[in-house]
Amino acid sequence: MTAIQPIPTQLERAREYVYNTRAQATYRAYRVHWRVFEDWCASHGVPALPAQPETVAAFLVADAERHKPATLTARLAAIAWRHRIAKLPNPCDALEVRELLRGIRRTKGTRPTRKRAATLDIIRRMARAAGDDLRGKLYRALLLVGFWGAFRRSELAALRVENIAFTDYGARILVARSKTDQEGEGQWKQLERLADQELCPIAALREWLGASGITSGPAFRSISLVSGKLNDKPISGRHVARIVKLLAERIGESAHEFSGHSLRAGFVTSALAKGANETDVMEQTGHKTARMLVVYSRQQGRGARRAIRAVAGPDA
């Protein structure tokens, strides 16, 4: 009996499902890292596909002079991915490559460079510096929603009006998909209506939606620098980061110290500094373990200081 062959549309759908096993941003990063490796191989007259373990090792040594271990690890992931989809042996699995990466990590260290947290006092100053025109309303809404909702920049960029439910106390916002929720289970974030209008995310969000006339689709959209008109497409995650940096400059801070991630880190840092329960903070951020809050908080050492005071006594 002849086996039934899948029809073309089924094969196409199968490829689509396989492609969605990882985030699109991951594939974009893979392509960038692979091009770097491919260009290096071309300049040295060695094949990139298939690559030999000694080629990958030589590439790591050369790249280690300019980049951190985290970047090297990402490069290896891209090389391994390219070989897997070509159904070729993975040179990154070779013992000499793995041991070389371990040696580079031990030599250079793996501590990441973290951006500064935009804590509540900084957020207030940024909100004041946003401006009152349409672009200023966008900046303020992004800033306050991003901070109070502990959003990632990609989540802000992907936010749709249909996923915002205004309530008596503020709003509930559905994050349909995020970095740690690639299968789309979704997470609800809460925003409170605050008496302090300068810091109220609900007031800022309603003001932006009303002024922009957005009633459906992407909630945050860029504004043309030339015409001043609102674009139909959603704002990008990089644009969110540029807005945070711009507002940091406006209040006299170094833009280099801030990023889109500063909003999320700022909420965690501010909440823990005020004595908020870790479980409550995790409910807003979506973290699964309290250990990750330590990574996000820029107020590390609170527990150590409490321990010292406990030993020294109240009169020390």
Instruction: Report angle CA 90, 91, 96 to the nearest 5 degrees.
Output: 140
Give catalytic status of residue 140 as yes or no: no
Distance set, CA 188 to CA 153, 163, 173 (Å): 16, 9, 5
Give catalytic status of residue 152 as yes or no: yes
Which residue among 116, 152, 189, 298 is the active-site one? 152
Give catalytic status of residue 135 as yes or no: no
Structure tokens at 37: 């490796």
Give the strands of the sheet with 164-166, arranged side by side.
164-166, 170-175, 187-192
Rounded to an integer, what distance in angstroms lies between the CA atom of residue 267 and that of residue 122?
A: 11
Give catalytic status of residue 264 as yes or no: yes
- Paired sense of beta strands 230-234 and 221-223, if any: antiparallel
Question: Tokens 């889109």, residue?
Answer: 260
Give catalytic status of residue 84 as yes or no: no
On whether the CB atoms of residues 238 and 269 are closer than 8 A, the answer is: no
Looking at 224-260, list the stretches that DSSP marks H as alpha helix, in order from N- to C-terminal side.
237-250
Which residue among 30, 75, 296, 298 is the active-site one? 296
Write out the catalytic residue numbers: 152, 179, 261, 264, 287, 296
